Structures are given as structure tokens and as C-alpha cells.
């Protein structure tokens, strides 16, 4: 099976997770606190900042035709109001390298990391962030927009509300003195160490206060209030407006983290309200977008008492959630009920040490995508997460999502079989 030539088949990364030495960012500070919840700091990560050409050429050789990556706000505006031309030149070179290898670049403006100065000013709960983000988006669009066809404003704009819901549940469990297990981290899709966060809370608060002037810095991936959630949407709208003002032909969208929410008898109410919170209430903000970035990793099942843990015999990924590639097509179909425009799978993937399971995951996920396309759902691309094994946030480098292995001592790249397998789906005609 292969898609048409126009269909985007590629891989995704995020600046902080692969570039290395993102020293002006909020995450860099948090990773290096004495009581950090991060298992290790990002350090030089995969040195993608210097090795991007090698990485892009690996994709091209395997037949991939698209690459989603993020430009780093903390590099471009490391000091408030001071924009760095040299960093723009760097990203221009990444974009041109993609073009040289026949790869469509898809740029994300904000993939979780922010400049540390923004967080000191209240971060993602402060109204002023809307203006700052709009100004940054305008600068990037003016400089790089003419070279691009696709920009994602914000990655997983709904992550903050998902975290809020999960931390409510965690607090409840802690109050009831039931023991938390590391595997409970699997209830959230992204790399978070809840147990460690709770254990470290007291000291981390003091260290954060010293670093950011507040014991609870509002980095992007933290529990969002309802007001903060609206603010994220306003930031998206401000960025979209800014981009369209300078480059009207660039397609602008946002990406959302979406679970396949399934209900056993009696669990329907939970699944419906979770979908409302995770997706439906954002729809009014997205109506004028050119595409939606759909990001899915697994399913969540609800019973009459709420969310159920994965069954005993179920295969788990390294992230402790269920290996369930069918979730992607279910989510695409559900999203299409409310959004009729272009959908791009901007992330979908699996963390595993066994690459043959990754091949199987991609095979089943793409067969679902193919069935959606056959049914007329306008899915125009599939970007696997991730191009290479990288820094999975608080969980560090242990999670292996990559199509390419990276030896972090030597920074040597080794393509896994899954890379060529994914490339084989790219259409030649
Ligand atoms: C994020 C990535 C992350 C991936 C795997 C997504 O939530 O956008 O940054 O690495 O999931 O957990």
C-alpha cells in the first residue's frame, strides 16, 4: 500500500528534545534544579542543532517526504524584545536543507518550551503572553514565512487541561493515602514523572521561586486553569493573525493531543465529558484554521467508575500506556465529525526497544489512515513521532520513540528498520 505522491509521509521532532543546549529556556532551568522531576537534563540532546543535515538526509534516503520540527522561541528571543537574526538564519538553513532533499518542512512555533523570561512574567497564565507570542509569531513569519507552506502555532494546546485533570486525580489518590506507583505516570500521554513531582514538591517550590520568582512557574506543560486554557487559544489566534498578515498563503493550524476515548456500558458519560474537554470546546477557535494537527498515541477506556487501567494481558509501551495503533483512525473519524477541513497527523508513535513492534504499530496505524482517506476524510499527511530517539521530557532519554537510534556518547545515528518501512508508504506517483 502506498499513498499518493502528494500525501505527506514523514517524521516529527521538537527543538528542545533534539537540538541540545537550549540554555535560555524554562526547561533548561527546571532540568537543572537540585530537586528536579527530570530523570536527567537534556544537555546536548541529539546535537541536531549541528547535525540536522545528516538527519534530514537519512529521512530522504528512506523515502520520507516531510519533516515537522519546531523553531525555538528561547533561542530566537532569548531576551525579551531582542530578536536574534543568527538563529533565524539557522532555521532558514534547516528549511532549505529540507527543500534540497525534497522534504516538505512543517514548522511549529511553540513546542512546550518557552524563554525563561516569559515564565518570570507569569508564563502561560498571564494575559501578556498573548501579545508576546503574537509578536514572536509575526517576527518568525516575516523572516521565514515565505519559505514555508505549513506552520503549526502551538503544539498540543490542550495538554495543560489534561494535566489539570490528572493532577486532580493524583491528589485525590494521595489524600486517600493509596499508594502511587510509577506506572501511574502512564495515565498521561507525555513524559511526566508525577510520583517524583509529588515527592520533590517542597524543595522544588523553593528552587523554582529562586529561579523564576514564583514557586509555581507556569510553564506550558503544567496544570492549566480555565482562564489559562482560554489564553492559550487567544495566543493561537494572535499568532494566526500575525502570520496571515505577512504570509496569507501559508497554511496555519494548531495541534491537539487526542485520545481515542472508549466507553464500556456505564462509562459513556465520562467519555463524553472527556472528549468535550479534550476537543469539542476548542472547535470554535479552530474554525478558520487551514488544518488541524491530530496527535494520538493510545486509547483511554472508561467504565461506570471512570477511567480503567489497561487490562492485565494488554501490551504496554515503554510509556506504560496501551499499545493500540487503531486509536488513530478512530480519533480522525471522530474529529472529522466536527471539523471538515484538512487534517494532518502531526504525531503518532510508540516508545519501544523492539523495533519490530514499531513496524507493526506503523503498519496498523497507516492502514487506519488509509481507510479514512478512502472514506473521503481529508487527511493529507502522517508524521511519525519521532525521527530519532530523543529527550522525552521528564522521563529523559530512556524512552525510545525513534526511527533512528542515537548513540549519545558519539552522536552516531543508526537507522532502524522502521525508518525504511515508513518510507515505503510514500507515493511515487
Ligand atoms: C509531544 C512530544 C512527546 C510525545 C511522546 C507528545 O505529547 O508533543 O513532545 O515527546 O508526545 O510522549
Q: For ligand 1, say whether the CB of 347 is within 6 Å of any of its atoms.
A: yes
Q: Which range (182-186, 225-229, 391-395, 421-425) has the least confidence? A: 182-186
Tell me how far apart the alpha carbons of residues 374 and 379 are, in angstroms, rounded to a whole number: 10
pLDDT at residue 293, as a whole number: 99
User: Facing residues of 115 across strands?
Assistant: 25
Which residue has the CA at smallest separation from atom 9 of ligand 1?
14
pLDDT at residue 172, as a whole number: 72
Residue 106 phi, psi dihedral angles, 5° rounding: -120, 115
| Cα of 185 from ligand 1 centre, angstroms | 14
The 10s digit of each residue's pLDDT in 98-149 is 999 999 999 999 999 999 999 999 999 999 999 999 999 999 999 999 999 9
| Cα of 220 from ligand 1 centre, angstroms | 13
The 10s digit of each residue's pLDDT in 373-382 is 999 999 999 9
Q: For ligand 1, say whether the CB of 185 is within 6 Å of any of its atoms.
A: no
Q: Which range (11-20, 63-72, 166-175, 232-241) has the least confidence? A: 166-175
Tell me how far apart the alpha carbons of residues 306 and 272 are, in angstroms, rounded to a whole number: 11
| pTM given for the model | 0.96
Tell me how far apart the alpha carbons of residues 236 and 160 are, in angstroms, rounded to a whole number: 14
- Band (pLDDT 50/70/90 cuts) for residue 167 is confident
Which residue has the CA at smallest separation from atom 7 of ligand 1?
190
Instruction: Please give the residue that has the higher pLDDT: either 201 or 405.
Output: 405
pLDDT at residue 186, as a whole number: 65
The 10s digit of each residue's pLDDT in 30-61 is 999 999 999 999 999 999 999 999 999 999 99
Is pLDDT of 220 > 60? yes
- Domains of the chain in start order, with CATH, are 8-423 (3.20.20.80)
The 10s digit of each residue's pLDDT in 381-414 is 999 999 999 999 999 999 999 999 999 999 999 9
The pLDDT mean for the chain works out to: 95
- Is 156 an annotated catalytic residue? yes
The total of other beta-carbon atoms located within 10 Å of residue 415's CB is 17
| Cα of 16 from ligand 1 centre, angstroms | 11
User: Facing residues of 9 across strands?
Assistant: 382
Q: For ligand 1, say whether the CB of 223 is within 6 Å of any of its atoms.
A: no
Q: For ligand 1, say whether the CB of 191 is within 6 Å of any of its atoms.
A: yes
pLDDT at residue 272, as a whole number: 98
The 10s digit of each residue's pLDDT in 169-194 is 777 766 665 555 655 666 667 788 87
Q: Which of 87, 104, 156, 370 is catalytic?
A: 156
Tell me how far apart the alpha carbons of residues 94 and 97 are, in angstroms, rounded to a whole number: 5
Which residue has the CA at smallest separation from atom 4 of ligand 1?
190
The total of other beta-carbon atoms located within 10 Å of residue 80's CB is 11
Amino acid at each position: 500500500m502506498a499513498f499518493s505522491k502528494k500525501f505527506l509521509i514523514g517524521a516529527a521532532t521538537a527543538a528542545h528534545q533534539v537540538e541540545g543546549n537550549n540554555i535560555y529556556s524554562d526547561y533548561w532551568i527546571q532540568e537543572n534544579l537540585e530537586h528536579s522531576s527530570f530523570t536527567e537534563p537534556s544537555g546536548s540532546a541529539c546535537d541536531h542543532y549541528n547535525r540536522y543535515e545528516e538527519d534530514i538526509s537519512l529521512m530522504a534516503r528512506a523515502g520520507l517526504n516531510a519533516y515537522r520540527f519546531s523553531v525555538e522561541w528561547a533561542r530566537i528571543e532569548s531576551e525579551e524584545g531582542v530578536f536574534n537574526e543568527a538563529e533565524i538564519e539557522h532555521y532558514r538553513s534547516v528549511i532549505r536543507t529540507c527543500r534540497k532533499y525534497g522534504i516538505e518542512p512543517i514548522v511549529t512555533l511553540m513546542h512546550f518550551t518557552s524563554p525563561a523570561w516569559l515564565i518570570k512574567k507569569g508564563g502561560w497564565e498571564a494575559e501578556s503572553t498573548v501579545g508576546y507570542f503574537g509578536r514572536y509569531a509575526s517576527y518568525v513569519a516575516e523572516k521565514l514565512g515565505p519559505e514555508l507552506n505549513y506552520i503549526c502555532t502551538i503544539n498540543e494546546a490542550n495538554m495543560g487541561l489534561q494535566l489539570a485533570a490528572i493532577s486532580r486525580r493524583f491528589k485525590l489518590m494521595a489524600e486517600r493515602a493509596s499508594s502511587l506507583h510509577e506506572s501511574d505516570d502512564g495515565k498521561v500521554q507525555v513524559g511526566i514523572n508525577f510520583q517524583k513531582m509529588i515527592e520533590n514538591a517542597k524543595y522544588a517550590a523553593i528552587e523554582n521561586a529562586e529561579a523564576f520568582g514564583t514557586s509555581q512557574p507556569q510553564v506550558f506543560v503544567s496544570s492549566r486553569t480555565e482562564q489559562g486554557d482560554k489564553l492559550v487559544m487567544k495566543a493561537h489566534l494572535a499568532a494566526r493573525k500575525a502570520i496571515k498578515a505577512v504570509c496569507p498563503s501559508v497554511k496555519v493550524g494548531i495541534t491537539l493531543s487526542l485520545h481515542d476515548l472508549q466507553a464500556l456500558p456505564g462509562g459513556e458519560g465520562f467519555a463524553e465529558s472527556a472528549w468535550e474537554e479534550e476537543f469539542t470546546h476548542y472547535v470554535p477557535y479552530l474554525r478558520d484554521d487551514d488544518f488541524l494537527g491530530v496527535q494520538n498515541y493510545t486509547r483511554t477506556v472508561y467504565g461506570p467508575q471512570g477511567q480503567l487501567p489497561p487490562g492485565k494481558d494488554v501490551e504496554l509501551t515503554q510509556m506504560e500506556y496501551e499499545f493500540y495503533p487503531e486509536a488513530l483512525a478512530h480519533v480522525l473519524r471522530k474529529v472529522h465529525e466536527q471539523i471538515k477541513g484538512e487534517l494532518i497527523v502531526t504525531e503518532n508513535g510508540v516508545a519501544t526497544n523492539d523495533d519490530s513492534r514499531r513496524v507493526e504499530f506503523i503498519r496498523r496505524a497507516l492502514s487506519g489512515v488509509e481507510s479514512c482517506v478512502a472514506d473521503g476524510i481529508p487527511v493529507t499527511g502522517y508524521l511519525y513521532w519521532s525521527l530519532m530517539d530523543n529527550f522525552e521530557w521528564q522521563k529523559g532519554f530512556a524512552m525510545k520513540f525513534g526511527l533512528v537510534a542515537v548513540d549519545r556518547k558519539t552522536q552516531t545515528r543508526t537507522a532502524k528498520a522502521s525508518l525504511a518501512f515508513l518510507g515505503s508508504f510514500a507515493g511515487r506517483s
